[in-house]
Structure 1
Amino acid sequence: MTTSQEELLPATRRALLHRIAVAQAEGRAPSLVAAVVRDGRAVWHGSRTSMDGHAPDENVQYRIGSITKTFTAVLVLRLRDEGLLDLGDPLEKHLPGTGAGEATIAELLAHTSGLAAETPGPWWERSPASLRTSLSDILGEQPFLHPGGRRFHYSNPGYTLLGALVEKLRGASWEDVLRREVLEPLGLNRTSTRPHAPHAGGWAVHPWADVMLPEPVEDLGLMASAGQLWSTTSDLARFAAFLVQGDNRVLGAESLGEMRTPAAPPETADVASGYAYCLGLEVRHQDGRTLVGHSGSLPGFLACLTASVEDDLAVVVLANCTSGPLLFSVAADLVRIVAEAEPRIPEPWRPMPEVESAALELAGQWYWGTHAFGLRLTADGLVSLEPLSGKGRRSRFRANGDGTWTGLEGYYAGELLKAVRRLDGTVDHLDLGSFVFTRQPYDEGAAVPGGVDPDGWRGTGSF
């Protein structure tokens, strides 16, 4: 991926640089680097540093912490897509003897397994991997703190189990599988489990004095699949583009859409902040936008990758400090700056290449009771059904090839939409998960459950 500084307007580039300069200065970060991705490729890179006057570029490695979990989730979804597991499977089915086998794979991905957030031993991010030589060291004697599937509770050990699952089903180390199935196909040549020069050093900045202390760099060992990776803004820009668009060599767009769908019941505080967890990805709502990605931290490093699918924009921000700048806020601001200054130009409208007359016959206005809906056929081959005014249930539907459609989202996700016809072939009504939609409100000529009063509609004089 080539970074082209000329693809954004000068005023936009200056606004982006100003934002990261403020973040680096006010956050007291030794260095901070960022990249913006649009239309699937990096269009801007910026950096600020206080170290020696040589600003890091897009090829300098930083530790990315829990963004590693998104890579691990991709590996698990690949196993699912190949039919080697089901997300509803208990871990015990594929990886017996862990002591946490009752947790399902989906629960581990979504942090709803009930597992503890951290390991029972010493602070694992700052202690040698030799202290954790088995999964029992990771889980401890009482690995579960909450009932499975009941609440979101972020768990690093949970993603350690997913890494072990990948190793068991692939017959190779998590690192080797990651390199072969994700890093090499996507061209992420500067993403690795160990740092390779040039790379940033990790620092702790004193909270009450402008001085620094170097942080230790520990190999996480068995915890690698939860947070081991090092990467660059260039590589993460490629990875962000993949998370938005998909790549059939790694994972298709449909599975990535599933990864971006909230899967964990949010905590009360998360509801207020607009936060939800998906399958290896976080969703946040900021400035009227839905932003999906992941954050990460390890002693000496902060990281954030986030994307607005609607705006076709993604941002990566990395810093080499234990705490300081709030990287998600920085990333959200970078998305907003580009989206507002240079809004996405939509693709030209194009007519459908072909349309079946039976489907076209269904287009137009329908009524669910007295609530008016519009059914449209779109150029992507889908059917959309949504209220003509106000809020209400809406969904897009995919054709099944037999005259029926399956809901893709919202209340009607997975539900079947079909046209019920009379003996003469004309449409009587639409059936959507047993709900009847008619051309007129409670159409007396349609088979409406409960029937329609034969006296019909009436005014006040009829009461």
Structure 2
Amino acid sequence: MRITAVLCLLCAVACSSPAPREPSARPSPAPSARPSPPPAVQAEAARLVAAGSSGAVVHVRKGDRTWQAAAGRADAGVPMRTDHRFRIASITKTFTATLVLQQVEEGRLALTDRVDQVLPGVIKTKATVADLLRHTSGISDYLRDERFTKDLGGGAHLRHWPPRELLKYADKEAQGYSNTNFILLGMILEKVSRKPYRELLSERITGPQGLTATELPADDLPKDLAHGIHTDGVDNAELDSSIFWTAGGLISTAADVSSFYHWVFTQDLGRRLQAGGFGIFAQTLGCGRRVYSHSGWIFGYSGMAMSSADGETEVVVQLASGQPSDAIAAAERLMCTA
């Protein structure tokens, strides 16, 4: 079974950077959903399937209104629904960055802390926590290491991979975007909070905000997870999430991701994410609109989450067996017309 490119994954949107705010005590009120999506949303979902995705979900939020549409299938003989879940890949990084900034605000961590001092003996580096968050650490990406893709053969993609084992494939210097940065941030979160990442996520984000469809899956995969088939025929719904962990292991719905982005960018924490370029990217669209976003890609799954700076408009596109460029282009079109 070939898994190679499965893991040259988790694309970031190439743009500039963004700034943080503080978690609100209460979850944002749920927006009212219109009974039927406007033509633009339904048309985008259909367009994405026509372009080659086996299934697509498109979600648009503007103020207190939402529109969403689904097209294609989630599995053989199963029509795609708007509440189907996807592997959201690198969109996970915005969740992880948010958890890190919460620890910073509460004094358990500083952006200037050296990684090798917070995690002694784990990795040789002079990078700081801020370097990890903005991908300026110079640490190579374990997912792009040929040794890793080779070692994933023979069913190893189905077993649990401890974070320290992933780091064995990040022993080179390399500039630019690296998933290893966010694996290290996950380890730092567990060290300073003294809690597993899964518990911290539930306690700090998904629980308070009512994001019931968002989780880092443990063993049994949820039945409502859409199946994304890689070009090699590998069903990537079966991949063990520990391969991506805090860099890209979360599963969620388009609606949950939209609610999370709305929550983040309507508080001070979101402005700090924007200012630092932490787990988010800044972009000015062709229509002149300034947005903050993150894309995600694991072969078999693609997605794009995008928010206006004030958090009042969100667009989320999730695809099964689709291309990240299609998800990104659809999100940009929708954001420009929302």
**Shorter-chain TM-score: what band?**
0.7 to 0.9
The one-letter code of the counterpart of 1:38 is K
What is the match of residue 204 of structure 2? 181
What is the match of residue 279 of structure 1? 278
User: Shift of residue 260 of structure 1?
Assistant: 1.2
The one-letter code of the counterpart of 1:114 is G
What is the TM-score when the length of structure 2 is the normalising length?
A: 0.80
User: Shift of residue 282 of structure 1?
Assistant: 1.4
What percent of counterpart residues are identical? 24
Q: 1:196 aligns with which of 213, 218, 222?
A: 222
What is the match of residue 257 of structure 1? 271
| Counterpart-to-counterpart distance in 2, 1:285 and 1:125 | 38
- 1:260 counterpart SS class: helix
The answer to whether 1:111 aligns with 2:125 is no
Q: Kindly indicate whether the alpha-carbon contact (under 8 Å) linking 2:41 and 2:59 is maintained by their aligned counterparts in 1.
A: no
The one-letter code of the counterpart of 2:44 is R
Do the aligned partners of residues 44 and 167 (structure 1) sit closer, same or farther apart at CA in structure 2, a change above 3 Å counting?
same
What is the match of residue 298 of structure 1? 298
Q: Kindly indicate whether the alpha-carbon contact (under 8 Å) linking 1:3 and 1:45 is maintained by their aligned counterparts in 2.
A: no
Q: 1:4 aligns with which of 2, 26, 33?
A: 33
Q: Kindly indicate whether the alpha-carbon contact (under 8 Å) linking 2:58 and 2:69 is maintained by their aligned counterparts in 1.
A: yes
Q: 2:188 aligns with which of 165, 185, 188?
A: 165
Q: 2:39 aligns with which of 14, 28, 39?
A: 14
Structure 1: segments with no counterpart, 5+ residues? 147-152, 207-211, 247-252, 264-277, 339-463
User: Shift of residue 141 of structure 1?
Assistant: 7.0
Q: Which has the higher contact order (CA 8 A, sep 6+)?
A: 2
What is the match of residue 308 of structure 2? 308
CA displacement 1:232-251 (0-9 Å, x = unmatched): 122112112112212xxxxx
User: Shift of residue 139 of structure 1?
Assistant: 4.2
- 1:182 counterpart SS class: helix
User: Shift of residue 298 of structure 1?
Assistant: 1.3
User: Shift of residue 35 of structure 1?
Assistant: 0.7
What is the match of residue 128 of structure 1? 157
What is the match of residue 83 of structure 1? 107
The answer to whether 1:69 aligns with 2:93 is yes
| Counterpart-to-counterpart distance in 1, 2:321 and 2:90 | 15
RMSD of aligned alpha carbons: 2.6
| Counterpart-to-counterpart distance in 1, 2:170 and 2:77 | 50
| Counterpart-to-counterpart distance in 1, 2:311 and 2:296 | 23
CA displacement 1:172-215 (0-9 Å, x = unmatched): 21111111111101111111122422221111358xxxxx6633
| Counterpart-to-counterpart distance in 2, 1:199 and 1:168 | 31
| Counterpart-to-counterpart distance in 2, 1:223 and 1:93 | 24
User: Shift of residue 83 of structure 1?
Assistant: 1.0
Do the aligned partners of residues 16 and 129 (structure 1) sit closer, same or farther apart at CA in structure 2, a change above 3 Å counting?
closer
| Counterpart-to-counterpart distance in 2, 1:55 and 1:92 | 48
What is the match of residue 142 of structure 1? 171
Within 5 Å, give how 1:316-355 maps onto structure 2. 316-321=316-321, 323=323, 326-338=326-338
| Counterpart-to-counterpart distance in 1, 2:158 and 2:102 | 28
Q: Kindly indicate whether the alpha-carbon contact (under 8 Å) linking 2:262 and 2:311 is maintained by their aligned counterparts in 1.
A: no
What is the TM-score when the length of structure 1 is the normalising length?
A: 0.60
* Range with bigger deviation, 110-119 or 74-83: 110-119
User: Shift of residue 134 of structure 1?
Assistant: 5.1
Q: Kindly indicate whether the alpha-carbon contact (under 8 Å) linking 2:86 and 2:320 is maintained by their aligned counterparts in 1.
A: yes
Do the aligned partners of residues 73 and 15 (structure 1) sit closer, same or farther apart at CA in structure 2, a change above 3 Å counting?
same
Do the aligned partners of residues 239 and 137 (structure 1) sit closer, same or farther apart at CA in structure 2, a change above 3 Å counting?
closer
CA displacement 1:311-350 (0-9 Å, x = unmatched): 8311010011153762111001111122xxxxxxxxxxxx
Structure 2: segments with no counterpart, 5+ residues? 1-29
What is the match of residue 56 of structure 2? 32
Do the aligned partners of residues 75 and 100 (structure 1) sit closer, same or farther apart at CA in structure 2, a change above 3 Å counting?
farther
Select the structure of larger CA radius of gyration: 1
Q: Kindly indicate whether the alpha-carbon contact (under 8 Å) linking 1:205 and 1:322 is maintained by their aligned counterparts in 2.
A: no
What is the match of residue 267 of structure 1? none
CA displacement 1:236-273 (0-9 Å, x = unmatched): 12112112212xxxxxx2x3102012x4xxxxxxxxxx
The one-letter code of the counterpart of 2:190 is E
Do the aligned partners of residues 42 and 22 (structure 1) sit closer, same or farther apart at CA in structure 2, a change above 3 Å counting?
same
User: Shift of residue 143 of structure 1?
Assistant: 3.5
CA displacement 1:396-454 (0-9 Å, x = unmatched): xxxxxxxxxxxxxxxxxxxxxxxxxxxxxxxxxxxxxxxxxxxxxxxxxxxxxxxxxxx
| Counterpart-to-counterpart distance in 1, 2:82 and 2:322 | 21
| Counterpart-to-counterpart distance in 2, 1:45 and 1:38 | 12
User: Shift of residue 122 of structure 1?
Assistant: 2.1
The one-letter code of the counterpart of 2:330 is V
Do the aligned partners of residues 117 and 69 (structure 1) sit closer, same or farther apart at CA in structure 2, a change above 3 Å counting?
same
- 1:203 counterpart SS class: coil
What is the match of residue 352 of structure 1? none
| Counterpart-to-counterpart distance in 1, 2:334 and 2:99 | 29
Structure number having the greater strand percentage = 1
| Counterpart-to-counterpart distance in 2, 1:216 and 1:81 | 36
What is the match of residue 345 of structure 1? none
The one-letter code of the counterpart of 2:133 is L
| Counterpart-to-counterpart distance in 1, 2:231 and 2:38 | 29
